Structure 1
Amino acid sequence: MLNIKIKSFQVNDQFSLNNINLKIKSGSILALIGKSGSGKSSIANLVSGSTISEAAEIAINGKSINTNLDRLFKEFPEIGYVPQKLHLKPNHTVLEFLEMLFQQKTKKEGDKIIKNLIHQFNIKQLIGSKISTLSGGERQKLSIIQAISKPIKALILDEPFSQLDTVQKTEISQQIRELINQLNIPCLMISHDLIDVIQLGDKIAVMEKGKIEFQGTWQQFFTSQKKKMIQLREVIENYINTTQKAIEHLKKLSKG
């Protein structure tokens, strides 16, 4: 279980994060959606440890992981983080990249892990390619591998489908789901596009201007949206009726 609590954190001059309370069960994915600039990535930075603040309380299985704010390492080692902007060395080949990730292992152990990852992420054909020549989807695979190259207890994915085509999105979605099931860890997946996460997220949270406006199941979400649409239709109908009556009244006055 990943618990995220943020009392109040100033994002910029326009708004702050307020009373954020998210809970994600092990083996499940929470899709956090919202418009660009709503504060989603600010949450990702706080949860991953990229941003340090006493306002955030991050706990995994009931144990706080951000009590030491003066730690030597910036990111929390318990959290695997795939940022929106990928940080990969462009001149390395894919094999060199993988070997660097597991250089602390014995050669036998490292080779076994790399072989399994190559099969799991279907990147055998990319082994000799330089990272600079890879597509967005191929780089995304490497970034996910990098995030899980250490023992982690939770995974944060910030806009994992941005700049990917439909085929790449489908493949990455399947690999993310298999990975979360395999590791049995909670996953926070951030996106501005509802369509991208509708099949992958087990639950959904909707964010707007630093606040969580909705959190629950997809069924609860669509029910709430249906109610909002009905309310909006009633408002529009009332406006139209009122306008028509006003027009008719003005016509009578002009005739009189």
Structure 2
Amino acid sequence: MTDLKIRLTKNNTAHFSLNIDLRLPNHGVTAIFGRSGSGKTTLLRCIAGLEKSEFGEVSLNGDVWQNTMTWLPPHKRPIGYVFQEASLFPHLSAKENLEFAIKRANTKQTIIDYEEIVTLMGIKPLLAKYPNQLSGGERQRIAIARALLIQPKVLLMDEPLSALDESLKQDILPYLEALCRRVQIPILYISHSIDEIIRLADYLVILDNGKVIDQGRTQKILGKLPTPLLQSQDASVLISGTITEKHKEWGLSKVSFSHHHMMIKSSEEKIGDTMRLRVKSRDVSISLSNEDNSSILNRLAVVIDDLVKDDQDPSMMMVRMLAGDTPILANITALSADKLNLKKGKNVIAQIKSAAVLR
């Protein structure tokens, strides 16, 4: 962990207050997740200095942005901020928007240069255009590039894809993935989408009613038996592995992880590439034997770690299993769990259709 310390108290109304105490990783993506009104945007705005909290401390590597004696205004905080709507200057071209950021840049450090960010975000063909000539996804890519050309020490992103339709989200996500792998600064990423979190986030903070109710490595948090907050998003796990085989004749790739492997539909990946996969609990079934008489290719030898009945639907049960150190969740009927005599510590087979695995 680094010295990105955030301890804030802010009373917005009689019904809501922000009460946060966090110490976050010094690189990679920390996702801030929670339902609407949980305090996600308020938290980011306080970190940025766009809102003042009554009490607290914000510091990075010993540099104090806020405490009882100090409060730095936003323009003195070494941050880049990407909003839900791309806030480009409409009278400037895309290139001129980027040049504006370069003039404001922190010249003491360079996290990424102009040519690299233009290439990384695929925006070279867009530089001569004005914001009203760009699609929503193109504007947001320019806005992200501009935020990074300030050369910030922290990048704040407030639901940057929420204003885009699903096809545009899928277009921009690969650019964000490449960016997150390249930039070695903390990125705080607000999202209410489990898909985005699984694809991007290394660390996950869950907020509810202005308070942190859970935090930790994304794979670990998603692999817990889900809270109602995560259940509402269709409980899923993150499986992180490496491409070890390609089967062109079948259009499949093998992903290896924790001494296990899965077959997934092939795409552009190459042998040796790392993959982050989403497996929904509703797409996992359980068998007591590993007989090779099923159309399901992915049959993983796992051990049951826990079982919990669904509070909202007593006919269903959530089963948490471990494939090595990788958690897998299955949402099955309580009747099935009883017929299979499922219990903690029992060795079973988790079955996952290749077509059901998301990336």
Q: TM-score, normalised by structure 2?
A: 0.56
Aligned partner of 1:32 in structure 2 is 32
Q: 1:219 to 1:99 in 2, by over 3 A?
A: closer
Q: Is the 8 A contact 2:28 2:185 kept in 1?
A: yes
- What is the correspondence of 1:65-144 to structure 2 with a 5 Å cutoff? 65-67=65-67, 69=70, 71=72, 73-103=73-103, 113-144=113-144
Q: 1:125 to 1:35 in 2, by over 3 A?
A: same
Whole-Å Cα distance in 2 between the matches of residues 85 and 114 of structure 1? Answer: 22
Aligned partner of 2:213 in structure 1 is 213
Q: 1:64 to 1:167 in 2, by over 3 A?
A: same
Q: 1:103 to 1:205 in 2, by over 3 A?
A: closer
Q: Tell me how far 1:122 sits from its aligned partner.
A: 0.9
Whole-Å Cα distance in 1 between the matches of residues 220 and 61 of structure 2? Answer: 26
Whole-Å Cα distance in 2 between the matches of residues 3 and 130 of structure 1? Answer: 38
Q: 1:226 to 1:36 in 2, by over 3 A?
A: closer
Q: Which moved more, 1:219-228 or 1:48-57?
A: 219-228
Q: Is the 8 A contact 2:29 2:186 kept in 1?
A: yes
Q: Counterpart of 2:41 in 1: which secondary structure? A: helix
1:13 maps to 2:5 = no
Q: Is the 8 A contact 1:191 1:197 kept in 2?
A: yes
1:163 maps to 2:163 = yes
CA RMSD of aligned residues (A): 2.8
Task: Output one character per residue of 1:45-86: Cα deviation in whole Å (capped at 9) or x when no partner.
Answer: 011111123423111124322246565x43443122112343
Whole-Å Cα distance in 2 between the matches of residues 54 and 145 of structure 1? Answer: 33
1:222 maps to 2:189 = no
Q: 1:17 to 1:219 in 2, by over 3 A?
A: same
Whole-Å Cα distance in 2 between the matches of residues 195 and 183 of structure 1? Answer: 21
Q: Tell me how far 1:28 sits from its aligned partner.
A: 1.7
Task: Output one character per residue of 1:171-197: Cα deviation in whole Å (capped at 9) or x when no partner.
Answer: 543433443443311111101222222
Q: Is the 8 A contact 2:120 2:179 kept in 1?
A: no
Q: Tell me how far 1:168 sits from its aligned partner.
A: 3.8
Q: Counterpart of 2:13 in 1: which secondary structure? A: coil
Q: Tell me how far 1:207 sits from its aligned partner.
A: 1.1
Q: Is the 8 A contact 1:27 1:180 kept in 2?
A: no
Counterpart pick for 1:233 among 299, 310, 334: 310
Q: Is the 8 A contact 1:101 1:149 kept in 2?
A: yes
Q: 1:84 to 1:76 in 2, by over 3 A?
A: farther
**Aligned pairs, how many?**
229
Q: Which moved more, 1:203-212 or 1:81-90?
A: 81-90
**Letter aligned with residue 91 of structure 1:** H
Whole-Å Cα distance in 2 between the matches of residues 51 and 24 of structure 1? Answer: 20
Q: Tell me how far 1:156 sits from its aligned partner.
A: 0.9
Q: TM-score, normalised by structure 1?
A: 0.77
More strand by share: 2
Q: Is the 8 A contact 2:206 2:213 kept in 1?
A: yes
Task: Output one character per residue of 1:11-40: Cα deviation in whole Å (capped at 9) or x when no partner.
Answer: 33321012x122222222111111111110
Q: 1:186 to 1:180 in 2, by over 3 A?
A: same
Q: Counterpart of 1:10 in 2: which secondary structure? A: strand
Structure 1: state its 5+ residue gaps.
Answer: 106-111, 239-256
Aligned partner of 2:202 in structure 1 is 202
Aligned partner of 1:186 in structure 2 is 186
Q: Tell me how far 1:117 sits from its aligned partner.
A: 3.0
**Letter aligned with residue 12 of structure 2:** V
Q: Tell me how far 1:232 sits from its aligned partner.
A: 4.6
Aligned partner of 1:4 in structure 2 is 6
More helix by share: 1
**Letter aligned with residue 4 of structure 1:** I
Q: 1:16 to 1:232 in 2, by over 3 A?
A: farther
Q: Counterpart of 1:162 in 2: which secondary structure? A: coil
